[in-house]
């Protein structure tokens, strides 16, 4: 009769469980003068050009120019705006743009807008707004500015003609 091997807890689990247990990475800052692309996979490799090798008159193979490619490291690729301008343009014009990779600046802008919209949605409710303002005053925060909002007219229940 064959014995089953001993299972050590916490050492290694099924792949699905380890993927779900991975923490969400924090938002990355975009360095000055750089463009950051985010990819769907950690080690995504995008080859943009494939130079053609030529056969010389003496039978030797003459290698073409170096190919242009972008390799993601941990799902991100950082390219210099000046040095890699041609590669950045080729990536943005690639048919898989928006599906397999995208500009990370647009992701950060979308996250910021979603946070602002959610905060404004909460602040538009007069009851929530007053609770938040009171909490800020109690915390000693007085240097905040709220956008001007239209306060809804009180509902009387009777229709005026």
76 inside domain:
yes
Q: What is the pTM of this model?
A: 0.58
Residue 13: what pLDDT? 54
Domain count, the chain: 1
Q: What is the mean pLDDT of residues 43-49?
A: 89
Residue 77, class by beta-carbon neighbours within 10 Å (0-12 exposed, 13-18 middle, 19+ buried)? buried
87 inside domain:
yes
Q: Which of 124, 115, 113 is nearest to 146 (CA)?
A: 124
Alpha helices in 7-81 (DSSP H): 15-21
Instruction: Tell me: pLDDT of 115 over 80.
Output: yes
43 inside domain:
yes
Average pLDDT, rounded, for the chain: 78
For 127, phi then psi, to 5°, come to -70, -45
Instruction: Tell me: pLDDT of 111 over 60.
Output: yes
12 inside domain:
no
* pLDDT, tens only, 93-106: 998 898 899 999 98
Residue 20: what pLDDT? 45
| Domain extent for 66 | 31-113
Residue 154: what pLDDT? 56
3-class secondary structure, 142:
coil
Q: Which of 48, 42, 53 is nearest to 84 (CA)?
A: 48
74 inside domain:
yes
42 inside domain:
yes
Least confident of 30-34, 103-107, 110-114, 148-152: 148-152
Contact 78, 36 (CB under 8 A): yes
Determine the angle formed by the axes of helices 126-138 and 104-124, rounding to 10 degrees.
Answer: 100
48 inside domain:
yes
Taking the CB of residue 139, how many other CB atoms lie within 10 A of it? 8
* pLDDT, tens only, 118-157: 878 877 877 877 887 788 888 887 766 666 656 555 555 5
140 inside domain:
no
Higher pLDDT, 71 or 140: 71
């Amino acid at each position: 009769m064959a014995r089953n091997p001993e299972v050590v807890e916490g050492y290694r689990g099924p792949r699905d469980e380890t993927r779900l247990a991975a923490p969400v990475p924090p938002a990355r800052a975009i360095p000055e003068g750089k463009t950051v692309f985010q990819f769907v996979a950690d080690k995504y490799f995008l080859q943009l050009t494939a130079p053609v090798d030529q056969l010389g008159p003496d039978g030797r193979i003459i290698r073409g120019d170096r190919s242009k490619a972008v390799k993601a490291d941990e799902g991100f690729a950082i390219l210099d705006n000046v040095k890699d301008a041609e590669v950045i343009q080729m990536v943005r014009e690639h048919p898989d743009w928006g599906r397999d990779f995208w500009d990370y600046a647009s992701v950060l802008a979308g996250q910021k807008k979603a946070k602002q919209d959610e905060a404004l949605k909460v602040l538009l409710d007069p009851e929530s707004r007053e609770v938040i303002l009171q909490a800020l005053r109690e915390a000693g925060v007085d240097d905040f500015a709220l956008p001007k909002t239209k306060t809804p007219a009180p509902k009387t229940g009777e229709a005026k003609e």
